[in-house]
Structure 1
């Protein structure tokens, strides 16, 4: 199952409102469960370089079913996923990408946000997810 266009646009609008509230300009991407771009917004004056980052954050979150910041923790030197950011034509392993999980616990897509600090990126992504679902998948046996 994929995130619907209605939900993708609702997530982008909620994220846009949060970005405006904290006075920043963001690029916001929503991908479906196959990591295909479903909806995108580049706010006025958002960095052009953030376009690619937002899309890659969303793809990273859906590829691995977890927030990009969590993958970042696992991908530090000496940790189990060190070097993972070089796979899949480039991943982003810092905060700002969150899975979108429906009420049945199914991963339906992800949102990626870029354009400010990673803390702001994460907060804006969380605002987008909040209106359409949650970002936590049911536990996997390999997660600790």
Structure 2
């Protein structure tokens, strides 16, 4: 199973709907496949500048290290030099705060990641989780 465009669109749509339903600020949602390639992205009207780079960094960091960005935040607190070095190693695209969620199929195979930016990190993560679940897939935040 792969993370195809239609599935990625479902994730984006559901993440945005979660944000609207909960009164979030405008979101940017980025969906990457298991190779770290962008499959789908949407930036809501009014989303501030550089939200794509932040959402991409959350998802890309998760894919690069095999951990949700919440777990990367904990790792950054415990091993800041490692996260700084890893950020450099992946070309700077690693944002270690909640909002980057790994996407797994029902058997546990890694399909990709979703990154959300625009609200608080916890709310970004909640929108990402809602998107993944709406697609019938399993989110991994840690």
* TM above 0.5: yes
State the alpha-carbon separation in 1 of the partners of residues 50 and 17 from structure 2: 21
- SS of residue matched to 1:59: helix
Q: What is the correspondence of 1:20-99 to structure 2 with a 5 Å cutoff?
A: 20-23=20-23, 24-76=25-77, 78=79, 81-83=82-84, 84-90=86-92, 91-99=94-102
What does the per-residue CA deviation read over 1:39-71, in whole Å, with 9 as the maximum and x for residues that have no partner?
000011011221110111111111222210101
Q: Which runs of 5+ in 1 are unaligned?
A: 138-142
In proportion to residue count, which structure has more helix?
Answer: 2
Please say if residues 98 and 135 of structure 1, whose CA atoms lie closer than 8 Å, have aligned partners that are also in contact: yes
For residue 121 of structure 2, the aligned residue among 118, 122, 128 is 118
Compared with structure 1, are the counterparts of its residues 98 and 78 closer, same or farther at alpha carbon in structure 2 (3 Å cutoff)? closer
The count of aligned residue pairs is 138
Once the 2 structures are TM-superposed, how far is the Cα of residue 81 of structure 1 from its aligned partner?
3.5
Q: Which runs of 5+ in 2 are unaligned?
A: none
Q: What is the correspondence of 1:7-22 to structure 2 with a 5 Å cutoff?
A: 7-22=7-22
What does the per-residue CA deviation read over 1:70-123, in whole Å, with 9 as the maximum and x for residues that have no partner?
011012254683423333012110000000000121101110000111111111
2:6 equivalent to 1:6: yes
Please say if residues 73 and 97 of structure 2, whose CA atoms lie closer than 8 Å, have aligned partners that are also in contact: yes
Moved over 4 A (4+): 77-80
State the alpha-carbon separation in 2 of the partners of residues 101 and 95 from structure 1: 17
Please say if residues 64 and 90 of structure 2, whose CA atoms lie closer than 8 Å, have aligned partners that are also in contact: no
State the alpha-carbon separation in 2 of the partners of residues 5 and 82 from structure 1: 31
For normalisation by structure 1, the TM-score amounts to: 0.87
Q: CA RMSD in A?
A: 2.0
